[in-house]
């Protein structure tokens, strides 16, 4: 059945909506755009863990291919919806950075090793699946003043990632001789910044003057242009491409059977609670952008899928999974809300997981190229949070400005004063390094203190029936970024 036939035979597949089925060529191009945006973040965790545990090159390659395969599978489940799993919104799934520090500690334990990480992921994933219904009953904790604050902090936190990308990746790099972190000599070089700004300007020009499909793929065009410019300047190397395999099969438990340890599982389970809080904010942001506020059941399915990704990740030799906030900004920039685009993105991730040569080429995209696009996309996430805050009662309710001000301050701690909480107990450090979590906890507690527990309009209503959902859909349709 063609896309047009499906759209005409089912009113749910409305034009421009979450369920719209686009022609295959558009799906493929837009799906590839999502993959290119999240790819660097998706493979970063396997690289970090592999280096910290002194794994061989072949073992690190296995971690990356397993990561991509699992990301693809869980992305399809999350966006498409399979039984009790999947929020059925345009969501890309990837390995979470939140668990990096505890996973390194587990992996460096001689009694646990990397199989201890996988065992902890399996148990933590099962734990997350079981407790996901609890989170669905906490919607009264998330009125606009709370969700808007959290989403704004998500965008601002991601902006640091985008700016670091624009500079060349990270201000610090590891010395190959001593193993210590030293200043990255290439970070912030004029060439890096010039290409990042060029990508940014090209995206804005296309957004301003192009229409239709070309405007929707402005980010992809910008990334490709930046890649070609870097290639012409001799800044991209394909060394190692010949050594990469054409085809590889990821098998469960390639590193050996998982090692189950209660303490390790408890730590990763605690991190999964953090991830689920962040995912909840992201789902609410995406629902606002797409004009479809998730119902309680939708949120349960989405959070449950985070747990499923973590459980399956432990089986397939990879790590905890979460919904990627980066791609929320892309949905906002392009105005394309179809969840089938992310389903296609999941297919591409699976292909990259089983065809290592393809993955190698995509991995060659420099960070500074991604940075030019990241500034646009991550800023759009923050602007969504600000728009939600504007819908909160800030003039008549004199407490809400206090909630916003203090929560934004807590959310900025890891960004502007990293050492402020460094003397807190070591066990709390993974939690205190998340500005999103700090902002969420602060906003929730302050809102309860000032306003009490209230059920936000539309959050538990049927899809598309709330006033806020309609307003968000109209706002998006009239946006200059929506072509």
Is residue 234 within 8 A of residue 93, CB to CB? The reply is no
Alpha-carbon distance values, 214 to 192, 197, 217, 334, 388 (Å)? 26, 20, 5, 10, 29
CA 386 to chain centre: 19
In sequence order, what DSSP letters do the residues of 81-140 get, joined into one string?
Answer: -BTTB---SS--EEE-STTHHHHHHHHTSTTTHHHHHHHHHHHHHHHHHHHHHHHHTTGG
Would you state the structure tokens that stand for residue 220, as one six-digit string?
């992809």
In sequence order, what DSSP letters do the residues of 72-87 get, joined into one string?
Answer: HHHHHHHHH-BTTB--
Neighbours of 445 (CB within 10 A): 15
Q: Nearest to residue 440, comparing CAs of 269, 271, 278, 270?
A: 278
**pLDDT tens, the chain, 483 aa long:** 444 443 444 434 445 688 888 898 889 988 988 887 777 667 777 876 776 787 776 787 788 889 989 999 999 999 999 999 999 999 999 888 767 767 877 888 888 889 999 999 999 999 999 999 987 677 677 788 887 888 788 778 878 878 888 888 778 776 667 767 778 788 888 988 999 999 999 989 988 888 777 776 787 788 889 989 988 888 877 777 777 778 878 889 988 899 998 888 887 887 788 788 778 878 887 888 888 888 889 999 999 999 999 999 999 999 998 887 767 777 877 788 899 999 999 999 998 888 877 766 766 778 788 788 878 877 877 887 888 888 887 888 888 999 999 999 998 988 888 788 878 887 676 667 778 778 888 998 999 999 887 654 434 333 333 344 344 434 433 343 333
Cα distance between residue 209 and residue 6, in whole Å: 31
Domain locations in the chain?
19-477
Cα distance between residue 482 and residue 17, in whole Å: 13
Q: Return left, alpha or beta for 335; rule: phi > 0 is left, psi -120 to 50 is alpha, else beta.
A: left
Q: Which residues pair with 23 in a beta bridge?
A: none
């Amino acid at each position: 059945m063609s896309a047009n036939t499906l759209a005409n035979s089912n009113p749910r597949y409305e034009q421009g909506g979450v369920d719209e089925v686009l022609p295959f060529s558009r799906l493929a191009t837009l799906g590839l755009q999502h993959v290119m945006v999240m790819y660097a973040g998706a493979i970063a965790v396997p690289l970090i863990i592999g280096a910290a545990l002194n794994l061989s090159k072949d073992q690190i390659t296995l971690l990356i291919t397993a990561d991509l395969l699992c990301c693809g599978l869980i992305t399809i489940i999350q966006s498409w919806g399979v039984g009790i799993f999947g929020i059925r919104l345009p969501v890309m799934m990837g390995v979470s950075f939140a668990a990096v520090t505890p996973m390194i500690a587990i992996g460096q334990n001689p009694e646990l090793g990397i199989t201890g990480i996988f065992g902890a992921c399996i148990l933590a994933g099962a734990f997350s699946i079981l407790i996901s219904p609890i989170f669905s009953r906490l919607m009264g904790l998330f009125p606009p003043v709370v969700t808007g604050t959290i989403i704004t902090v998500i965008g601002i936190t991601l902006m640091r990632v985008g700016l670091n990308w624009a500079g060349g990746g990270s201000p610090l790099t590891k010395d190959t001789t001593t193993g210590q972190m030293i200043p990255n000599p290439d970070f912030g070089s004029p060439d890096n910044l010039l290409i990042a700004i060029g990508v940014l300007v090209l995206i804005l020009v296309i957004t301003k003057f192009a229409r239709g499909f070309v405007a929707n793929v402005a980010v992809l065009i910008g990334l490709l242009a930046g890649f070609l410019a870097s290639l012409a300047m001799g800044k991209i190397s394909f060394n190692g491409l010949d050594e990469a395999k054409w085809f590889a099969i990821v098998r469960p438990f390639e590193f050996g059977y998982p090692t189950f340890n209660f303490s390790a599982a408890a730590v990763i389970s605690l991190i999964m609670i953090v991830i689920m809080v962040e995912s909840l904010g992201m789902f609410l942001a995406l629902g606002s952008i797409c004009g479809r506020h998730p119902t309680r059941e939708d949120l349960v399915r989405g959070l449950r899928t985070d747990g499923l990704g973590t459980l399956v990740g432990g089986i397939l030799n990879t790590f905890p999974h979460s919904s990627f906030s980066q791609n929320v900004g892309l949905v906002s920039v392009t105005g394309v809300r179809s969840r089938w685009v992310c389903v296609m993105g999941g297919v591409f991730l699976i292909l990259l997981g089983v065809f290592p040569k393809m993955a190698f080429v995509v991995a060659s995209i420099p960070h500074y190229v991604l940075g030019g696009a990241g500034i646009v996309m991550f800023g759009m996430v923050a602007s969504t949070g600000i728009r939600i805050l504007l819908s909160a009662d800030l003039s008549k309710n004199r407490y809400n400005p206090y909630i916003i001000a203090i929560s934004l301050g807590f959310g900025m701690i890891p960004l502007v004063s990293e050492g402020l909480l460094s003397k807190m107990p070591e066990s709390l450090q993974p939690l205190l390094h998340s500005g999103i979590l700090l902002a969420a906890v602060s906003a929730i507690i302050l809102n309860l203190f000032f306003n009490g527990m209230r059920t936000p309009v539309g959050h538990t209503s049927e899809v598309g029936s709330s006033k806020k959902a309609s307003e968000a859909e109209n706002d998006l349709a009239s946006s200059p970024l929506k072509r």
